[in-house]
Amino acid sequence: MLIVIFGFQNLDIPVIFDLLKFKNFINHPNLLIMRTLSEKMKLLLSSLFLFLSFTSFSQDLPVKGFAIAAPNSDGLDRFVKFMEEELGPRGINTLVLRVDFNYAFQSHPELQDENPLTKGDVDKIKMAAKKHGIKVVPQINLLGHQSWAGTLGNLLKEYPEFDETPHVKMPENYEWPNEDGLYCKSYCPLHPEVHEVVFALVDELCEAFETSDFHAGMDEVFFIGDDKCPRCGGLDKAELFAGEVTKIQNHLDLQGRRLWIWGDRLIDGKRTGIGMWEGSMNNTHRAIDLIPKEVMICDWHYNSPIQTPVIFAAKGLDVISCSWNKPQVGVQQLEDMVTFRNHNTSEMKDRFQGVMVTVWSGADVFLDGLEKYLADPSAEKEVDQPWVTFVEVFEKENFVGLIW
C-alpha cells in the first residue's frame, strides 16, 4: 500500500487531473502494478489511492476573489442577498468593491456621487461579509482612470489643478483612438496637495469597511510623466509610477494596511508581445523592481491565460490571476495557479495567491445576467459572459478545494 501511495504522490498534478476524469485510470503506466491484483483488490485500492493521495495533496488557494462595482444605494439589498446566497456558499473569500466616489465621504463631501452609499449601507455589506468570512477590499482609482470616455471624474472636476494633462481638453464626442491619446485622465503624482485629498478618502473608506486591504486600481495609466507637466516632465516614468505606488503603500502601512493594484503597468508590453492594455508600452514596467514587496498584484488577462504570475512571484510579489468574461480563461487560470503552487520552490509557491473573477459592468447588470443564467444554464452555455465565468470558476474551485 505504501509503495502504491508513494507512487501516486510522485505523479504530476496534470496527470492526477487526468486520472480524475477516469479515462486513463486503469491504463496509466504509473498504475501498472494494479494489473497484477485481483479485481476486488483493484477496486478497494483505487478508492484508497484517491482518498489518501488527494488528502496528502490537500491545499486551498488563499484568495478566491470576486471584483465588481459597488452597488448603488437602491441596489444594496439585492447585492447583500447575492453575497449571502452566492458568494458565501461558493466559498468566495475576497470581494474587491470598486467604490470610487460612491460613498458619502465626510472628509470631502464635494467629491461624492449623487445618492452615494451611506455608512449604514456599508455596515450591511460588512455584516454579510463577516458572516461568510469574506474580506472586503474597497477600491478607489488612484493616479489613472480620473475620467471615463467623455466624462471627467469627480476629483479633477473639483480639483482641476491636479490634472496631469490640463492641455488635453475633454471632447464632446469621445472616440478611441484620438489625437490626444486620451483614454483616461491621470492626476499628477507630484502635485504637492493631491495626496492630502486622496488619502483622506482612502482612510475614511478603509475605516468604514474596517478593512486591512485597499485596492488603488492604477491600471492602464497612459498619461504619466507628461512632457508639459512642470513637475513630471522629463522624469523617468517607471520611477514616477513606482514612487506613487510606494507612497500609497507607505501611507496604508501606517495603519497596518496593504495596497492592492492591477498588474498591467509592471509588464513589458513590447517584449512580451502583450501590448499596451494588459502590459505597458509607456516604460513603466521597470517599476516592478522598485515597488515595495508588500503590494498585492492583481494580474489580469481576459482573452488568454498568459502565465505572467510567474514573473511577479519571481520578483517577490504576491499575485492573483484575474479573469473576466471568458469562462475557459478563468478555469485555466485556476488550474495554472494550482500548478504554479505545486511546481515552484517553497520560497515562491505561497506568492501564487489565487484567482479573481472580475466584472466590468454595474452590479445590477451582472446580477440580472447571473439570475437568468442560473435559472437556465443551458441557454448561455457557450456565451462569453462574466456570470458564466463566475459559475464555472467557482464550481471548479470548490471541486479542487475539496480534494487537493
Please give the grid coordinates belonging to residue 230: 512642470
- Beta carbon of residue 170, minimum distance to Zn ion (angstroms, whole number): 18
Shortest distance, CB of residue 188 to Zn ion, whole angstroms? 3
Q: Cα–Cα–Cα angle for 269, 139, 134, nearest 5°?
A: 110
Stretch that binds Zn ion, among 128-136, 181-189, 211-219, 359-367 (CB under 5 A): 181-189
Q: Among 19, 31, 229, 334, indicate the residue that binds Zn ion (CB under 5 A).
A: 229
Question: Which stretch in 32-40, 148-156, 162-170, 252-260 sits in contact with Zn ion by CB under 5 A?
Answer: 162-170
Parallel, antiparallel, or unpaired: how do β-strands 151-152 and 147-148 relate? antiparallel
**Minimum CB distance to Zn ion, residue 102 (Å):** 27
Nearer to Zn ion, 244 or 336 (CB): 244
Determine the interface stretch with Zn ion among 110-118, 188-196, 206-214, 326-334 (rule: CB under 5 A): 188-196
Bridge partners, 172 (sequence order): none
CA dihedral 61, 64, 65, 71 (to 10 degrees): -160
- Contact segment (CB under 5 A) with Zn ion among 180-188, 198-206, 337-345, 392-400 equals 180-188
Give the number of residues in contact with Zn ion, rule: CB under 5 A: 6
Query: Which 3-state string (H, E, C) describes 144-167?
Result: CCCEECCEECHHHHHCHHHECCCC
Closest separation between CB of residue 350 and Zn ion, Å?
Answer: 37
**In the bound complex, what is the minimum distance in angstroms from residue 154's beta carbon to Zn ion?**
20
Judged by beta carbon, residue 129 or residue 229, the one nearer Zn ion is: 229
Q: Is 231 in the site for Zn ion (CB under 5 A)?
A: yes
Interface residue with Zn ion among 68, 76, 232, 338 (CB under 5 A) is 232
Q: How far is CA 211 from CA 126, 135, 186, 205, 259, in A?
A: 9, 7, 26, 9, 11
**Spatial CA neighbour of 5 closest among 60, 57, 43:** 57
Spatial distance between the Cα atoms of 256 and 261, rounded to a whole number of angstroms? 17
| Cis-peptide into 327, omega within 30 deg | no
In the complex with Zn ion, the residue whose CB is nearer, 45 or 190, is 190
Query: Which is closer to Zn ion, CB of 198 or CB of 322?
Result: 198
CB-neighbour burial class of residue 378 (10 A; exposed 0-12, middle 13-18, buried 19+): exposed
Q: For the CB of residue 190, give the shortest distance to Zn ion in the complex, in Å.
A: 5
Q: Interface with Zn ion by CB under 5 A: which range of 221-229, 250-258, 306-314, 362-370? A: 221-229
Backbone angles phi, psi at 118, to 5 degrees: -95, 175
- Integer Cα distance of 178 and 276 in angstroms: 15
Q: Where does 76-193 have alpha helices with state H? A: 76-82, 119-131, 154-158
Chain-centroid distance, C-alpha 8: 34
In the complex with Zn ion, the residue whose CB is nearer, 126 or 231, is 231
Q: What is the DSSP letter of 87?
A: I
* Sign of the alpha-carbon dihedral angle for 18, 23, 25, 28: negative
| 223 versus 302: smaller Cβ distance to Zn ion | 223
245: closest CA among 230, 233, 263? 263
Piece in contact with Zn ion (CB under 5 A), picked from 85-93, 187-195, 290-298, 316-324:
187-195
CB of 224 to Zn ion, least distance (A): 8
The window from 93-101, 202-210, 225-233, 292-300 that contacts Zn ion (CB under 5 A) reads: 225-233
The residue (of 188 and 201) whose beta carbon lies closer to Zn ion is: 188
Using CB under 5 A as the binding rule, whether residue 188 contacts Zn ion is answered as: yes
199 grid coordinates: 488619502
3-state class (DSSP) for residue 63? strand
Closest CB 144 distance from Zn ion, rounded Å: 13
Of residues 244 and 299, the one with the C-beta less far from Zn ion:
244
Q: Which is nearer to Zn ion, 195 or 231 (CB)?
A: 231
Nearer to Zn ion, 134 or 156 (CB): 156
Q: Name the site residues for Zn ion (rule: CB under 5 A).
A: 164, 188, 190, 229, 231-232
